[in-house]
Amino acid sequence: MEIEAIRAGKVKQLPGADLEDEDLSGSQLEKINLAGATLVGVNFSGCNLNGARLDGANLIGAKLESADLRANLLGANLMQADLSGADLRGGNLRGANLMGAKLSQACFTGAFL
């Protein structure tokens, strides 16, 4: 899989992909499908994930600082993830595991928890 194509937003369908520990910081990943993907330790800092499908994704320890996460995170595992300053307005976080996650200045306005 070409990581540069993902960073550039050219790849939109990656359900179940394994991107563990990749650096995708600052990428335009709007409406990408990463449902059920292994995203452990991935750096999504400053990413645009607006409208993305991250339902059931494993995001343990992921870096999501200041990311646009107005996305579907239904049942996602965000344990120990850094969501500091992330925009989760209107996002779906039902059933998501946020145990130990850093939530400083994250915006959850209108989010489904």
Each residue's pLDDT tens digit, 11-64: 999 999 999 999 999 999 999 999 999 999 999 999 999 999 999 999 999 999
Confidence (pLDDT) at 92? 98
DSSP 38: B
- Which of 36-49 are b and which e, b meaning 16 or more Cβ less than 10 Å from the residue's Cβ? bbbbbbbbbbbbbb
Confidence (pLDDT) at 112? 95
Say how far apart CA 55 and CA 61 lie, in whole Å. Answer: 16
Q: What is the CATH number of domain 1-77+92-98?
A: 2.160.20.80
Q: Is the pLDDT of residue 1 over 80?
A: no
- Which conformational region is residue 16 in: left (phi greater than 0), alpha (psi within -120 to 50 degrees), or beta? left
> Where do the domains of the chain lie?
1-77+92-98
Q: Please state the pTM of the whole predicted model.
A: 0.94
